[in-house]
């Protein structure tokens, strides 16, 4: 081994495939084991010699039986060493590595223990890709003058690279990894995942695609995860493959990582980085097509270009691209002003950078001495960074002569230079994170580059001492061409193959790859977003290159907590499709490198992903309700019925935005329970860890109500036939699980605990199996039997059919069992004869025809456009009302709750009080609206009770989709209650109804009235007027 380490690589001597490694500065890596080696990845794109991809593994304790995760960083050009040594590995490097006693003795940054290392749940192996990044290399140069190979070869020695050639090379490296380096992983069937961030969002899907086409024998690939990742672009006629991304556009110039400024405007304004006045001016001046990148930037109006590229840049000023709120002094550099990225200027189209003119060909290394390590890159994929303020220029790095400190290969330690300059000016103050605060995360500085250019490190890892450890970014300096289209179709193939997918984002990442734009890609893609324009382009159900998957949303957006359980820390937010096969996570307070900024939240996320289980429930906290200002005065301000509900619950009422009020109900404070006997505490620990109460709370239910509802669902599943026992399912189980809830309702004591659940064993009509299912619901928050029944093919077909308007459980069963129909397409193909047999109304048939359109989310902008038209009609239609008393209209539903999209348009129509002609008014407004903009369902009774249901379409907009629209009519005195009810979710309405009931009232969309109880009326609060009109 030593001849290889201490000398240049001989032409015939292969590098080691696997060797036990140590880490200088770490006395012992136990309980983790480190390995290092080189993987034969075949012939490089240059067609000359061989290429070897270097890897480093941090293996979990008992790693032969643990899952394995392969990690990749992006760039293109960033070594994957960054992830293992600065984000999630057992030992990390940062500016704190320069503050140790060991550093004072050796001059080498010290790797420090990481309590949140992912190695506690999975072994971790990073692979430096493509060669010659990091310690990877090619044995020969690319054949052009001045290009040499070997460990000290130049950055151009292996290329030219493209997205797809990287995928092919890494697949060969993966084969070598599992057949030559760690064959025991294939033998033991260890679960394998591939995880990465940034430009690895393009790499990894195409790695997976190569794997699906050429599976590695014996390897148990279970899924992949992408953090703050690029997506590539949906193909568009007449535009290049990378039309939506240009890694070298400066400032707020587009495209950069985004095709247009819409998402930057929302992100920076939403984080209070520029004025509302400028935001309003941008939104009023720029067209929607300009903002989202439908119109290419060269075709923008000069006014829009100036507002975005100049005015917004001036108001925002300097920001750190990887975390908007990072405050590391070293992040303000002395680079040329006006850049929003880091590094040399250049192209990513295969040509050498312009600054390197003079090279003999596009494939040649730069004119500088190619054996010298390239200039250290400050970040990976730092595409978009603004200039620093003028007063900051030149204050960070002194010259080499002034510092007298060099690292291997002549690279200056920026950290030490900064420290000396800071000490001359005064003390420097730092605050390191504890895993819960992005603002407190350690600064990374140059610790990793210095560590990996040390002879001690190279020797300990079996890397030749003349290795350059090349660190690049954005494809500059290595000859890289983007050629991969939108990664969505690969996700589709992976999910169909049974793999699990996790997409996670930091909500404070300022690179353009944060939660906001990535939500707008993946939520419509995993769902039914055909026709939706995303930062990657427009999704289209008829185009295999941009087809949304239509997966069922099984977990709407919810908060999640962090491990260990019981900490009062929120990790972020999660959504799931297909019971967690596809997951989207937003990590609160995290930047581009999520594990660096929120290590506890990132660890919690990865522990759940590797273990194939849901993220922990949110911490008990606050519930919010948006209401409207009205006639009640509290603290000198006027409020509506929200004030009444606040008083009922002892909650707090505060102002909120958009002329609304916010009711805060603190569920963390529960009434004190009576003292318990010692015997009552034997299950106390299990009660504290139970997930059921938190799941119930998220649904607006008590724990008892939640358990009863889930048992009823199980009975309904058996009734539907999911149990598979005969035409009507298991009749006995169906009857039992439909009757058991009544016994549970009567006999289960509250507050619910394991002890009260165990007591149900003594109740007639509740068997042992039912008690165990109640305990499972209490402990885990879900029922495995219900989930398994839902996974049956017949149940999947049933749920798909029931998404069609007008098809309920009974009709779905008839379709499946009597007509052999298992999908919407088959139902549609059945034609009029089948529809008549099902007694489908004309409205239901019309909704079937438009089923795919009606499943698509409706953007807020379109909802507002429809509302403006209906509002104009309502005000102009002669409603035979008293003079001066015009109707009022409001948008409600998820739109009013602030959702970015909705699945129907809910409108509240309030008519002056009294008015006996509600139905006629609604009919006239709706009829005229639909004469111009759409059509009604034609279903009888569509207007009954002041309630209209119909379809509409913005006829003036090319390609506009049909949408569902509901118009609800109420008397003027009912408005506050209707607004409350129609704005709240189903779970929230259940909750506030229980709050009112607990105080002796009945709350509905019509009003708040004293509840009728046995023995007479419930008492009324003397401070509140009674009846419906208070």
Q: Is the peptide bond before 564 cis (omega within 30 degrees of 0)?
A: yes
CA distance 169 to 41: 6
CA distance 620 to 703: 14
Say if residues 609 and 502 touch (Cβ distance below 8 Å): yes
Say if residues 459 and 386 touch (Cβ distance below 8 Å): no
CA distance 701 to 693: 9
Q: Which residues contact 497 (CB under 8 A, 6 or more apart)?
A: 212
Q: What is the DSSP string of 103-131?
A: HHHHSSPPPEE-TT-GGGTSEEEEE--ST
CA distance 1010 to 1019: 8
Alpha-helix residue ranges (DSSP H) falling in 497-531? 515-526
Which is the catalytic residue, given 50, 773, 811, 1006?
773
Q: Which long-range contacts (CB under 8 A, 24 or more apart) does 735-738 make?
A: 736/767, 736/770, 737/711, 737/712, 737/770, 738/712
CA distance 625 to 663: 5
Q: Which helix (H) or strand (E) holds 1004?
A: strand 1001-1004
CA distance 1006 to 210: 59
Q: Name the one residue in this structure whose structure tokens are 């004309």.
A: 842
Strands 500-506 and 220-227: parallel
**60 is written with which tokens?**
């979990």
Q: Name the one residue in this structure whose structure tokens are 């960070």.
A: 396
Beta bridge partners of 35: 20, 57
Q: Which residues contact 351 (CB under 8 A, 6 or more apart)?
A: 362, 479
Q: Which long-range contacts (CB under 8 A, 24 or more apart) does 933-938 make?
A: 933/866, 933/869, 934/962, 934/963, 934/965, 935/846, 936/843, 937/841, 937/842, 937/843, 937/844, 937/846, 937/847, 938/841, 938/842, 938/843, 938/846
CA distance 323 to 439: 9
Q: How far is CA 284 from CA 281, 295, 297, 861, in A?
A: 5, 16, 17, 13
Instruction: From 32, 185, 196, select the one nearest 114 (Cα to Cα).
Output: 32
Angle formed at CA 509 by CA 502 and CA 319, multiple of 5 degrees = 170
CA distance 1030 to 1027: 6
CA distance 652 to 648: 11
Question: What counts of helices (H) and strands (E) characterise the chain?
Answer: 38, 34
- Write down how long the chain is: 1030
Is 773 tagged catalytic?
A: yes
DSSP summary character for residue 474: T
Say if residues 365 and 358 touch (Cβ distance below 8 Å): no
Q: Which residues contact 354 (CB under 8 A, 6 or more apart)?
A: 345, 346, 347
Angle formed at CA 396 by CA 394 and CA 397, multiple of 5 degrees = 90
Instruction: From 208, 247, 242, select the one nearest 225 (Cα to Cα).
Output: 208
Sign of CA dihedral 113, 118, 121, 123: negative
CA distance 910 to 887: 6
Sign of CA dihedral 459, 461, 462, 464: negative
CA distance 713 to 737: 9
Give the gyration radius of the chain's Cα atoms: 31
CA distance 19 to 33: 11
Q: Which residues carry out catalysis?
A: 773
């Amino acid at each position: 081994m030593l001849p290889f380490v201490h000398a240049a690589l001989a032409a015939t001597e292969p590098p080691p495939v696997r060797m036990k490694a140590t880490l200088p500065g770490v006395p012992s890596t136990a309980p983790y084991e480190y390995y290092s080696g080189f993987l034969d990845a075949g012939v490089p794109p240059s067609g000359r010699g061989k290429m070897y991809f270097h890897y480093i593994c941090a293996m979990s304790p008992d790693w032969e039986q643990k899952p394995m995760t392969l990690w990749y960083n992006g760039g293109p050009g960033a070594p994957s060493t960054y992830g293992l040594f600065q984000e999630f590995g057992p030992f990390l490097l940062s500016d704190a590595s320069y503050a140790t006693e060991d550093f004072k003795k050796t001059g080498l940054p010290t790797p420090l223990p990481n309590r949140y290392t992912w190695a506690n749940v999975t072994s971790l192996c990073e692979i430096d890709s493509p060669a010659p990044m990091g310690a990877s290399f090619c044995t020969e140069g690319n054949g052009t003058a001045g290009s040499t190979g070997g460990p000290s070869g130049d950055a151009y020695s292996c290329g030219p690279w493209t997205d797809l050639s990287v995928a092919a090379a890494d697949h060969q490296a993966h084969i070598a990894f599992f057949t030559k380096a760690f064959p025991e992983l294939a033998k033991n069937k260890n679960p394998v995942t591939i995880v990465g961030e940034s430009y690895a969002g393009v790499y990894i899907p195409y790695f997976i695609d190569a794997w699906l086409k050429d599976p590695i024998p014996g390897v148990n690939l279970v899924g992949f995860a992408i953090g703050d990742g690029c997506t590539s672009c949906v193909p568009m006629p007449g535009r290049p493959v990378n039309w939506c991304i240009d890694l070298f556009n400066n400032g707020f110039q587009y495209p950069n990582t985004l095709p247009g400024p819409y998402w930057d405007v929302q992100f920076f304004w939403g984080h209070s980085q520029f004025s509302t006045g400028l935001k309003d001016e941008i939104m009023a001046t720029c067209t929607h097509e300009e903002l989202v990148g439908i119109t290419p930037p060269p075709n923008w109006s000069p006014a829009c270009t100036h507002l975005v590229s100049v005015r917004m840049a001036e108001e925002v000023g300097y920001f750190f691209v990887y975390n908007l709120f990072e405050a590391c002094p070293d992040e303000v550099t002395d680079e040329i002003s006006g850049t929003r990225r880091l590094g040399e200027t250049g192209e990513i189209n295969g040509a050498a950078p312009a600054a390197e003119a003079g090279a003999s060909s596009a494939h040649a290394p730069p004119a500088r001495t190619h054996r010298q390590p390239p200039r250290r890159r400050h970040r990976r994929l730092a595409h978009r960074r603004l200039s620093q303020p003028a007063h900051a220029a030149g204050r960070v790095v002194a010259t080499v002569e002034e510092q007298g400190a060099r690292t291997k290969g002549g690279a200056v330690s920026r950290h030490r230079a900064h420290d000396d300059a800071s000490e001359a000016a005064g003390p420097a103050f730092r605050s390191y994170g504890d895993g819960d605060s992005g603002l407190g995360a350690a600064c990374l500085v140059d610790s990793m580059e210095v560590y990996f250019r040390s002879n001690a490190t190279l020797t300990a890892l079996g890397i030749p001492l003349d290795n350059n450890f090349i660190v690049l970014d954005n494809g500059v300096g290595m000859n890289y061409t983007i050629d991969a289209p939108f990664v969505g179709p690969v996700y589709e193939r992976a999910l169909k193959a049974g793999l699990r997918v996790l997409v996670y984002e930091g909500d404070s990442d300022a690179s353009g790859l944060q939660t906001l734009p990535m939500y707008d890609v993946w939520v419509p893609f995993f769902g039914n977003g055909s026709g939706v324009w995303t930062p990657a382009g427009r999704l289209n159900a008829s185009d295999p290159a941009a087809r949304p998957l239509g997966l069922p949303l099984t977990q709407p957006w919810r908060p999640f907590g962090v491990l260990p359980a019981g900490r009062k820390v929120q990790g972020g937010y999660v959504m799931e499709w297909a019971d967690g096969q596809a997951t989207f996570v937003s990590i609160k307070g995290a930047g581009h490198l999520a594990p660096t900024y929120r290590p506890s939240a990132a660890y919690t996320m990865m522990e759940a992903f590797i273990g194939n289980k849901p993220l922990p429930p949110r911490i008990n906290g606050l519930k919010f309700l948006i209401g409207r200002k009205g006639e009640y005065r509290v603290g000198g301000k006027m409020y509506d019925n929200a004030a009444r509900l606040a008083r009922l619950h002892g909650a707090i009422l505060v102002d909120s935005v958009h002329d609304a009020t916010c009711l805060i109900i603190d569920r963390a404070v529960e009434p004190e329970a009576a003292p318990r006997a010692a015997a009552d505490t034997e299950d106390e620990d299990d009660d504290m860890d139970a997930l059921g109460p938190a799941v119930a709370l998220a649904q607006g239910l008590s724990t008892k109500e939640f358990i009863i509802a889930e048992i009823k669902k199980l009975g309904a599943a058996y009734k539907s036939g999911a149990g598979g026992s005969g035409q009507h399912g298991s009749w006995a189980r169906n009857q039992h699980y439909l009757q058991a809830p009544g016994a549970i309702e009567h006999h289960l004591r509250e507050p619910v605990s394991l002890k009260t659940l165990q007591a149900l064993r003594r109740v007639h009509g509740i068997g042992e199996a039912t008690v165990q299912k109640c305990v499972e619901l209490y402990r885990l928050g879900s029922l495995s039997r219900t989930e398994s029944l839902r996974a049956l093919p017949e149940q999947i077909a049933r749920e798909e059919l029931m998404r069609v308007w007008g098809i309920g459980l009974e009709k779905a069963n008839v379709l499946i069992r009597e007509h052999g129909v298992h999908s919407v397409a088959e139902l549609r193909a059945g034609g009029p004869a089948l529809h008549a047999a099902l007694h489908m109304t004309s409205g239901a048939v019309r909704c079937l025809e438009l089923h795919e359109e009606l499943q698509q989310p409706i953007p807020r902008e379109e909802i507002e456009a429809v509302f403006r038209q209906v509002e104009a009609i309502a005000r102009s239609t002669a409603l035979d009302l008293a003079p001066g008393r015009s109707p009022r209209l409001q948008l409600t539903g998820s739109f009013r709750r602030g959702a970015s999209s909705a699945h129907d348009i809910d409108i509240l129509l309030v008519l002056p009080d009294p008015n006996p002609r509600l139905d006629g008014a609604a009919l006239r407004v709706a009829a005229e609206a639909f004469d111009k903009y759409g059509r009604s369902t034609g279903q009888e009774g569509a207007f009954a009770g002041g309630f209209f249901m119909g379809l509409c379409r913005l006829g003036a907009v090319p390609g506009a989709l049909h949408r569902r629209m509901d118009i609800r009519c109420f008397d003027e005195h009912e408005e506050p209650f209707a607004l409350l009810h129609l704005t709240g979710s189903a779970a929230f309405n259940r909750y506030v109804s229980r709050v009112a009931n607990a105080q002796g009232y009945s709350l509905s969309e019509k009003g708040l009235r004293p509840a009728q109880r046995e023995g007479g009326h419930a008492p009324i609060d003397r401070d509140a007027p009674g009846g419906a009109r208070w």
